[in-house]
Chain A
Amino acid sequence: MTSHLPSLAESSEIETRLLATLKDKRILIVMGSYVGKRPMYERARELGAKLVVMDGPGHWTQAATAESLFEQYIEVDLYPSNTLADRAYQAIRKANLHFDGVATFEEFAGPLTSLLARGLGLPGHPFLSLAYCRDKTLTREVCIEAGIPSPRFYRIGSVEDIEVAAEQVGFPAVLKPVSGASSVATYRVDTLAALHQRYKQTMEAVREHLKSSDVHSADENELIWKNGFDMILEAFLDGEEFDVDCLLSQGEVVYAAVTRDLPQPYLREVGSQMPPAFPADKQDELIGFTAQVLQVLGFYHGAFHVEMKYTEQGPRLIGVNVCIGGPMHQLNRLVWGVDLVEQYLLSCLGLPIQPRKAIEPQTYILTSDLPSPRSGVIAHTNFLQPLDTHPHVIQKKVNVEVGQFVTGPESGVPDSLGEVMVFGNSVEAAEQIMAELLAMINLPLEST
């Protein structure tokens, strides 16, 4: 982070007092999630919260407990998964600690977190609402039942379902896991033959990759398939994709901000823009749609990341994530001065929240993924070094290792080699800075 970034607005006296209530509050973190969530835990610790994390043996948060990021680590066997809630509850009771709240930053831990919160007599989301969100077909059914328009879809449990799915949904369509996240294994298919091929390839890859049933909460890609290999085929929607980060308090939207996902040739997020270059009235429509979806799903408080497309007919839902996405904490804080982690933790204590959103954006942020332009082997990993001293780079990250084989678009969906986040004093300025920076990067790909 550079000194050119605007400093965050001072908290009001009321906000400061509210945040002070987090000090020394002990919060149970259900499943530590992937290591990219670490900054959120660090923020919670800065606020004085005592975090006790519960996860399986060898999770990265276990080592982080030794570094005092967490007060205590409660180890629990994750399998068999159908009795995990009971084992987790017993392990928590055995720890003999008083908890003030229960939270999770792991999308897949929703139903478990709900049960544990109820078991401990603490605030939490309704179990049924979280159950609906773990399966995209269930989310869509609930929305349709409530009159919220939704694309045609069909659940594919085996190869026998493919013909009916194609007949029901038509083409073009999108094939993805019912329990998906981060666009993993998400493909556009334009013909029945392509659908057959993609489904077969995905199932082969999953079965090859999942060598063990002991899936860790740090392995997001594997968690998607943990409870089964069902996929959803849904009608492809024309239009741009947006995300709405939303905070609910006592059933009301108290904060919402829109992020534009940059055009996605491979249906994988390749970058995002906050605030978006998109008309304000349409952003309001996206936010209103988000509120409607969360209401019909039965949510009342907490932090949500809702993905949708803006089509010619208006917003259409892609998915509801009942947690804060990795980079979204930083984006919302820098652009609108709202710290989602602070607000989420306060809501976990059962406190009403009312964050102050900046009237105007404090900065303009653009993130870009670095998709591999072709298949090859990574020669070195210092390809982002030219960006080291650039004053507008907020963050950069290499996603590959030396010697790693990566896939380019000619072989399917390209692998991500890295990510860059920049800021500017306007949307256009941020775009120009990003274009200049990307031109400076020489991706180190050797042919095989």
Chain B
Amino acid sequence: MSPSDTRDLSGRARYGMTPSLHITVIQEREHSLITIFKLEGDIDAESYVLLQDKATEYYQTGTRRLLLDLSGVHFMGSAGLRALHQIDEMLRRETAGEDESNSGIVNGSFKSPYLKLLNPSASVARTLKLSGFDLIFDVFHDQQAAIDAF
């Protein structure tokens, strides 16, 4: 069986097709460094680069705190986790001190002070929990509470 025999990977990732992720950017006015990405679609092997690129673009123009609104995300697999991890590492690299960046601990916690997650679907929340990503990312269900937590 070849990789292509996997047909529709997990029923979601569509190799060779147009990425299915749409990102709306909201700049939080009262907190100039905080940017909110409202994501709609799937974060899969085709689309995760869109998220990474968008995060890099905003990072380069000053964003240092990112809130990902996942309420419109139906599926997030390994590629989505890789994107979250990579974005967090990027934000930590410049923002945290060298010790904090190396240890992964900021203010006594492994939770990222730079990247937070909002309203994941039940399915995405289970992926975060099963993979241990809930150990490093705070998950919120109220946007204001998430912003206040930065």
Residues of A within 8 A of B (CB): 81-86, 89-90, 110-112, 115, 118-121, 127-128, 130-132, 134-135, 137-142, 144-145, 147-155, 157, 164-165, 168, 178-179, 227-228, 230, 311, 313, 316
Contacts and interface: CB of A to CB of B under 8 A. Distances in A.
Contact of A84 (B45, B108, B131, B135): B135
B16 interface: no
Given A86-B108, A127-B136, A145-B45, A154 B10 contact: yes
Contact of A149 (B2, B7, B105): B2
A144 B3 contact: yes
B1 interface: yes
Given A134-B131, A149-B2, A152-B6, A164 B11 contact: yes
Contact of B111 (A86, A118, A130, A139): A86
Contacts of A154: 10-11
B110 A86 contact: yes
A119 B110 contact: yes
A141 B13 contact: yes
A145 B135 contact: no
Contacts of B81: 128, 131-132, 138
Nearest to B111: A86
A144 B9 contact: yes
B139 to A, nearest CB: 8
B129 interface: yes
B26 to A, nearest CB: 26
A151 B104 CA distance: 36
Contacts of B131: 111, 131-132, 134-135, 138
Given A132-B131, A148-B3, A230-B126, A119 B105 contact: yes
B85 interface: yes
Given A147-B3, A168-B7, A168-B11, A134 B132 contact: yes
Contact of B104 (A84, A119, A128, A131): A119
A126 to B, nearest CB: 9
Given A89-B105, A152-B7, A157-B123, A141 B130 contact: no
